Structure formats: structure tokens, C-alpha cells
Amino acid sequence: MSGPIVIGSLMKVKNIITLLVTHLSVGVFGVALGIYLLPILTAPTPPTESEINKISSHAQYSGSFTKDLKDSDAFHWGEGQVWIDSDYITLMGRLAPGPDYKLYLSPEFIETEVDFNRLKTEMVLVGDVKTFDNFAVKVPQGIDLSRYNTVIVWCEAFGEFITSAKYQ
């Protein structure tokens, strides 16, 4: 009689483990999907092409975000034209969606997370990037743009390099 009881107990344990693994997998997938989709769903309306053209018409500097940087990949990239002046930094282009994007200015061109972390104390935080198709980020007063040569989009929440552009 002990044979069927042992087999029944093993099947019960196997079913519990299977249910636990499948439910945890679905939960992890749901959280990951939420982290990816929430910034897209809550993003404000991006500036239009004509708004970007108007804001950037007096830009002192320009550069380009490209997808072919060392630490850019399928989930972390940017592309388009960036304009920099004392009032705004603007992008006519696109960024891979993600949470907690920050815009920095760096005294050196960087294209890796290692370089970003090495130079972070020498960089200045300009502000939050809240849109993924075009953006216009207000530059705080007192930032001397000539002290820097690169604009960087960084994911603060996950410590991920997104993109950068050298502007001088």
C-alpha cells in the first residue's frame, strides 16, 4: 500500500512545484512588461517637429545620436539630431523607451557604462527625459555649455547607457 501513497505524494509535490514555477514566471514577466510599458503609457505628448525647429533655431551646438555606439543595443539606443543651447537641449529623433531617463553633459565623449560611471562626478545633470519621440529639456541656469562636449541619455534606475552625441 505504501507504493501508491508515495507515488501520489511525489505527483502532488511535482504539481505544486510546477504551479509555483509557472506562476512565478508569469509574475516576473508581468513586472518586466510593466517596467517597459509604464514609461510609454505615461509619457507626455512629445514636442512636434515644428516646436523642435522653433526651440532649436538659435542652437549654439549640434550633434547626432546613433545606434552604433559600443554599449547601445536592441533595448538601449537613440537616433536623431540633437541641438544644444543655453535654454534647451532638443532631440529630433527617437529613443528606445525606458524608465527614469536623465540627460547629462560630459567633458569627454563616452559610449559605455564604464566610462559614464568613471566620469559621472565631472558631469552635470541637465534634467529628465520624459518623451521618446523628440524631446526638449530645459537647461538649468548657470551651466556653461562650453565646459562640456557630449550630451548623454542615461537610465538612472537601471544604470544603463542609452546614447550620447559629441557636440564640440
- Read off the C-alpha cell for 156: 538612472
Model confidence at 8, in pLDDT bands (50, 70, 90)?
A: low
Residue 101 pLDDT more than 90?
yes
Report the SS3 class of residue 46.
coil
How far apart (Å, rounded) are the C-alpha atoms in residues 54 and 85?
Answer: 12
Residue 1 pLDDT more than 60?
no
Instruction: Return the higher-pLDDT residue of 15 and 136.
Output: 136
Model confidence at 35, in pLDDT bands (50, 70, 90)?
A: low
Report the SS3 class of residue 61.
strand
Model confidence at 34, in pLDDT bands (50, 70, 90)?
A: confident
pLDDT > 70 in the chain, percent: 90
In the prediction, which pLDDT does 46 show? 87
In the prediction, which pLDDT does 41 show? 65
Model confidence at 5, in pLDDT bands (50, 70, 90)?
A: low
Residue 38 pLDDT more than 80?
no
Instruction: Return the higher-pLDDT residue of 143 and 31.
Output: 143
- Sole residue written with cell 520624459: 130
For residue 165, the 8-state DSSP code is: E
86 neighbors 139 (Cβ within 8 angstroms)? yes
Residue 40 pLDDT more than 70?
no
If you count DSSP H runs as helices and E runs as strands, how many of each does the chain have, helices first? 3, 8
